[in-house]
Amino acid sequence: MRLELDDARRLTGPNLLWDQPGAILDVFIDDIDKNTVVDVWHKWLAKLLAEFGWQQQTTYRLHSEGANLAISAPIDALYCACDLAELAWHCAVAELKNDFTPNWQQRLNELQDELAEELNPALITLIQEAKKHGVSCIADDDEVSLGMGKSSQTWPVRALPDLKSIKWQQYQDIPRVFITGTNGKSTSVRLASHIAKAAGYVAGVTSTDFIRVGGDIIDHGDYSGPGGARMLLRDQRTELAFLEVARGGILRRGIPIDSVDAALITNVASDHLGQYGINTVEELAETKFVVAKGLDAQGTLVLNADNKLVREQGLKLDKKVCWYSTDESNALIQSQIRSGGAAVFIRNKHIVYALGCDEEYIAALEQVPMTLNGAAEHNVQNALGVVGLCKALNLPTQAIRDGLKDFGSNAQDNPGRGNIYEIKGIKVLVDFAHNEHSMRAVVRTINQLPAKRKIAMFSHAGDRSDEEIRNLTAAVTELDASLYVVTELERYLRGREIGDVPEIVGNYLQQQSIPSEKIQYAANPLEGAKIAMDFAQPGDVVLLFVLSDREQVHEYLTQLTFLN
């Protein structure tokens, strides 16, 4: 019998299980009926809550490996809620295994003292008053703020203002959106902010790479969760916010804020399965669509009609939707137009925005550098989604045109995503793609470009299964390259030994009848890039999947460009 607690954490915003804050346990269950385990946990939790003097709600979600168990709690008591839910779990496990029951009475006494220190009645009152006045209130462990952007004001969470002194009318919101999906999130937030800049806004961006306001990067790192959103919305320079929302952030904490003007879901494909009880792409799709819970009553959900999982989830919702597709004849596009809704599509290699029968030609694909004249279909889709998002924000059409035309496939505008270098007659494309869906998209792009020969450099993180590594490698072999350079990723071994992943890749390549002289190995992406470029000749196309050492590779390629 396996009854294992994997994680206990706080849910601070609307999430996969429900729309309220609380605590969640991730548990593994095997060789025993899952419902039986959940029932015993609920029994113990009810007993402990009664003894503790708390009235809270509970919910749960079963999955193939176990369950997610949740308890509601006030925002100022989430740590205590985690401890209480965990105590109920340990008591339930003891009962199910006929083991010694923990001294729960003593632990409850300790939790009473912890709760007394954690509670912050002044914070709860401030949040309630802000809601009454229609003012956004953003709170975390250390700070609380009212309003957004230039009207935002922040206080230490234990030094709040006197309610009588607050001039509620001075606090205003700024336009803000969520952008999520398996692939294309970072490109979309960057393109959208570029368009907002063309419209005269100081746009803020949170992403898995950095947090930025206007042209200033505040910090590098993964800011695709609530912390990045809070930092950006509190920055008084921010006039419009594009918030990248990753799967991990949704599952760990919930969505960053509970109110946005629009949300874009780019696509859903297999990636990072097996974490937090998300084991299928269908469950991943449900996770991505949690962002829809943050939409205001009049908010627009911008959805990719070319992605099956997005279509299936989107059709379940009663939301205002803007569908987009590379195919004007897509049934959802045509239905949307007939019903007077918004749609974005391609007609004769032009991006068209339609609101019912009213149409606007936005730009020709040849005018949008990131699409490589339409060859990069994944970036065509990214462009369509961002057009729909910007129209939902009522940004001027001319600004959308200008932003699309000015956003380049280079390391300045979109670092690590489809960056193009021209070096001595050799075309080099650098991309961060790291899952099968995105890698195949990039490979399809390369296969549409004229090339004497094709050369590929790639690597995989160690937390992929052997089968996933082989599938990812299969995507690369669709290039039919003259040389495959396999690199180590020492920073991303994630439990494997050096050499393990390249060995799996090399064995797979040889099983596909690729001769050994077409396979070379490198210690890191920079060394791999050098091997690929030394082999390349004028007329060749070189594809570099760079998952680490991106800055070093960029500097190396830039030096070669100057020597061109």
* CATH class (in words) of the domain with range 176-406: alpha beta
Matching residue, tokens 């320079």? 237
What's the pLDDT score for residue 436? Answer: 82
| φ and ψ at residue 436, rounded to 5 degrees | -60, -40
| φ and ψ at residue 451, rounded to 5 degrees | -155, 135
CB atoms within 10 A of CB 72: 18
Model pLDDT for residues 138-196, shown as the tens digit of each residue: 999 999 999 999 999 999 999 999 999 999 999 999 999 999 998 888 899 999 999 99
CB atoms within 10 A of CB 138: 22
pTM score, two decimals? 0.87
Residue range 419-562 in CATH 3.90.190.20: yes
Residue ranges in 448-490 assigned as alpha helix (H):
466-477
| CA pair distance 63, 280, nearest whole angstrom | 10
Q: Residue 139: which of 256, 218, 30, 15 has the closest Cα?
A: 256
What's the pLDDT score for residue 133? Answer: 95
Q: Strands across the sheet with 137-139, in order?
A: 137-139, 143-146, 153-156
* CB-CB contact of 418 with 409 (8 Å): yes
The single-letter DSSP state of residue 346 is: E
- Supply 396's token pair: 């001027």
| CA pair distance 47, 49, nearest whole angstrom | 6
Per-residue pLDDT of the chain (564 residues), as tens digits, is: 899 999 999 999 999 999 999 999 999 999 999 999 999 999 999 999 999 999 999 999 999 999 999 999 999 999 999 999 999 999 999 999 999 999 999 999 999 999 999 999 999 999 999 999 999 999 999 999 999 999 999 999 999 999 999 999 999 999 999 999 988 888 999 999 999 999 999 999 998 888 999 989 999 888 888 999 999 999 999 999 999 998 888 999 999 998 999 999 999 987 767 778 888 989 999 999 999 999 998 999 999 999 999 999 999 999 999 999 999 999 999 999 999 999 999 999 999 999 998 999 999 999 999 998 888 898 999 999 999 999 999 999 999 999 999 987 555 666 657 788 888 889 999 888 778 888 888 889 899 888 899 999 999 888 888 888 899 899 999 998 999 999 988 888 888 889 889 999 999 999 999 998 999 999 999 999 999 999 999 999 999 988 878 889 888 888 887 665
Q: Which run of H or of E encompasses 251?
A: helix 247-253
Angle between helices 466-477 and 436-447 (to 10 degrees): 10
Torsion of CA 102, 103, 105, 111, to 10 degrees: -80
Model pLDDT for residues 278-326, shown as the tens digit of each residue: 889 899 999 999 999 999 989 999 999 999 999 999 999 999 999 999 9
